Amino acid sequence: MELGITLRMPGRRGEKHQDQHAKAKEALQQKLKDHNEKRAVLERYAVSDVAAVPDGEYINLHKLTHPLGEQHLEHFAAIQSDMLFEQKIAGFALNQPLADSKSSKSHRTYLLMTPDMYLQSRGMLDVAQRLKADNYLNIYPLISTWEIIRAVHHNNAREISSSDSEQTSTQTRVRQLLLDAAKSGASDIHIEARENKAEVLLRVNGRRYKMGDISLATAEDYGSVLFNFESTDIARKGSWTKREIKDTNFDVWDDPTKKTKRLLTVRFHSTAIHPDKFQLVLRLLRPANVEGGFKRLSEVGYSDAQREQVERMLIGGSGLVVFVGPTNSGKSSSLQSCIQQLYENRGPNIKVCTIESPVEYEIPNACQMPATKDTFNELLEATLRQDPDVVMVGEIRESQAAKTVKDLGLAGQKILSSLHGYSAMAAFSRLEQLGVHIDLLTMPGFISGFVYQRLLPIVCPECSLPLHLARATGMINEGLFNRLTYVSEDKHNIRFINEGRYFINAENKLDTGCKCETCNGTGILGRTPIAEIVIPDEKLLGFIKKKDEAGAREYWLSTLGEKVEFGLGVSALSHAIQKMRQGIVDPRDVEHSIGMLRRDGF
């Protein structure tokens, strides 16, 4: 009889490893048992009769200065009362005020919450801080069933429905801004408060475009709403202030109530800027099931030689594959493409675990774990006990993450991750700085390969200008023209981004005021990766171990690396020149983002 499951054959493990695994498993089981026992006690004594709830003034958590999101009201309610109500449950300190809110005033603020919220504590303390910020003091926890919390809200539904219309209006405008920006193809929204106004800018295809101005007050309202809007990590929320660094993630749904289809994930960041203003930066991440999601590896934009190298890196059950580059360089989407390639290579039954902050694309069959700053390292360590075949770590940011990635690699899993860096070869020193020992870095098989990449705008083929017209209009100087001559004898296909300034009229003459329908006058049709790849062999690892970076780079350029095409080299500059010769990227963008055009860069 077929059971419809895949059985995994156990491998041999050392006694020490088995003992450590058994102890870790036992500790985890004990922790879970303790948690369930505490929850059972709290559920037994939770307020379950609405008549037992203290009489008093209902506090609309929607109307706080830092309002609570709709999705969290089933877990919390609040009442201010002159009644003294003591909830006594053995083993729990329920009669102590939360968030240092003790006051000499006679009335109390009762924060009703479910047992789970009390045990998680961070969410409870966050709501208490919001209440305290609005001068609600003497805040005491009151463990209640979710039915009671719902009844408290229902009995005061009229007040909820009449909540601040201005706040609702701001939420509507913010939601529309996010959806409009996504529709325009923006990767980021920037809101920058200046002297007497705030500028709203979109980054589309790597370039920033100003959309308009809003008042400083509106910008602050946007900051407050965005920071608490449909949050995926309420425990990290609290008061948004323009003077502090704030980070969070949230989702935008087609229906905010039913949440049946996720349209966007937004990564929120804000900081103060001199002298007393602020900026908001919103990264827009599209799910793979909507336009703009992940691509197959063959569709990413690598050269044929580069694609074959990436496919070679993915062969084998172990080894570290790292995508290197600056922010907004396509590393995450390339990682998703690699996961899809692994499923195609090894079948749909492999166990893939991902740790991401936030989860950017939904990957069928993968176990995707959203991480916060507080849980990232804990999730990494837990992955060792999840029996994965492949682990994807969204980004190696600090030493503890690097250490755990190292442990996963030594345990024999295939690891995919990303790293901030300026070249493929620089990834060795970056990982060493993060605490991965040089002996391990240079151990054959530990590193499967490094891929460095940046994204450059794709030139619109309809309105772009050839070299002679770009030169005639003053778009390029003589220095760039001479460098183009050095690196490309045939300059026939080289094209320059027009940005709506010029067009060829009916008389076949150059005219001004281009309104290209293909690119909407931007001159750009998306972005394409410029990449370089290092797959180390023992000789290269020998250079790295001896700290001979110059020797390692020379060996890679001259011998080890695979050329992007005949007559070009292995570096990112060579890949950029290849695409420049094909009329895909603008020579000016090559020099702005990759480096000066030169033959010795091949």
> Is 297-455 a CATH 3.30.160.70 domain?
no
Class of residue 282 by CB neighbours under 10 A (exposed 0-12, middle 13-18, buried 19+): buried
Q: Residues 208-222: what's their mean pLDDT?
A: 91
CA distance 61 to 346: 50
Instruction: Render pLDDT for 32-41 as a digit per residue (tens, 0 to 9).
Output: 788 888 888 9
- Report the range of poorest mean pLDDT among 82-91, 178-187, 474-483: 82-91
Q: Residues 513-517: what's their mean pLDDT?
A: 74
Q: 103: which 2 tokens?
A: 């006051």
Task: HSE, CB side, 13 Å, CA atoms: give it for residue 497.
Answer: 24
User: Residue 48 above 80 pLDDT?
Assistant: yes
CA distance 284 to 262: 12
Q: What is the pLDDT of residue 107?
A: 83
Q: Residues 458-478: what's their mean pLDDT?
A: 90
Place of tokens 């899809």: 340
CA distance 248 to 227: 7
User: Residue 170 above 60 pLDDT?
Assistant: yes
- Assigned CATH topology for domain 166-285: Beta-Lactamase (3.30.450)
Parallel, antiparallel or unpaired: strands 246-253 and 367-370: unpaired
pLDDT bucket at 241, cuts 50 / 70 / 90: confident
Q: Residues 520-536: what's their mean pLDDT?
A: 94
The H or E element containing residue 467 is helix 467-472
Are the C-beta atoms of 390 and 420 separated by less than 8 Å?
Answer: no
Q: What is the pLDDT of residue 3?
A: 40
Instruction: Render pLDDT for 320-329 as a digit per residue (tens, 0 to 9).
Output: 999 999 988 9
pLDDT bucket at 237, cuts 50 / 70 / 90: low
Q: How far apart are the first and last CA of the chain?
A: 61
Q: In terms of pLDDT, which residue wins out, 363 or 506?
A: 363
pLDDT bucket at 511, cuts 50 / 70 / 90: low
Q: What is the pLDDT of residue 1?
A: 40
User: Residue 280 above 90 pLDDT?
Assistant: yes
CA distance 309 to 277: 47
Are the C-beta atoms of 534 and 577 separated by less than 8 Å?
Answer: no
Bridge partners, 370 (sequence order): 356
Q: Where do you find CATH 3.30.450.90 in the chain?
A: 166-285
Q: What is the pLDDT of residue 375?
A: 86
Q: Where do you find CATH 3.40.50.300 in the chain?
A: 297-455
User: Residue 165 above 60 pLDDT?
Assistant: no
- Integer CA distances (angstroms), 409 to 144, 443, 499, 516, in order: 46, 11, 47, 50
**By percentage, how much of the chain surpasses pLDDT 90?**
48
Q: What is the pLDDT of residue 7?
A: 42
Q: Residues 191-216: what's their mean pLDDT?
A: 92
User: Residue 513 above 80 pLDDT?
Assistant: no
User: Degrees (nearest 5) of the Cα angle 207, 210, 214?
Assistant: 145
pLDDT bucket at 442, cuts 50 / 70 / 90: very high
pLDDT bucket at 400, cuts 50 / 70 / 90: confident
User: Residue 471 above 70 pLDDT?
Assistant: yes
Strands in 483-595 per DSSP E: 495-496, 502-504, 510-512, 524-534
pLDDT bucket at 500, cuts 50 / 70 / 90: low
Instruction: Render pLDDT for 306-361 as a digit per residue (tens, 0 to 9).
Output: 999 999 999 999 999 999 999 889 998 999 999 999 999 999 999 999 998 888 77
Bond from prior residue into 256 cis (ω within 30 degrees of 0)? no
**Summary mean pLDDT of the chain:** 86
Q: Residues 195-216: what's their mean pLDDT?
A: 91
Q: In terms of pLDDT, which residue wins out, 19 or 30?
A: 30
Are the C-beta atoms of 72 and 146 separated by less than 8 Å?
Answer: no
User: Residue 301 above 50 pLDDT?
Assistant: yes
Instruction: Render pLDDT for 102-141 as a digit per residue (tens, 0 to 9).
Output: 887 778 999 999 988 888 888 899 899 999 999 999 999 9
Give the SS3 label for residue 589. Answer: helix
Q: The pTM is what?
A: 0.69
Q: Residues 80-85: what's their mean pLDDT?
A: 85
Instruction: Render pLDDT for 551-578 as a digit per residue (tens, 0 to 9).
Output: 999 999 999 999 988 889 999 999 999 9
User: Residue 164 above 70 pLDDT?
Assistant: no
User: Residue 528 above 60 pLDDT?
Assistant: yes
Give the SS3 label for residue 540. Answer: helix
Q: What is the pLDDT of residue 289?
A: 60
Q: What is the pLDDT of residue 2?
A: 41
Q: Residues 397-423: what's their mean pLDDT?
A: 90
User: Residue 279 above 80 pLDDT?
Assistant: yes
pLDDT bucket at 68, cuts 50 / 70 / 90: confident
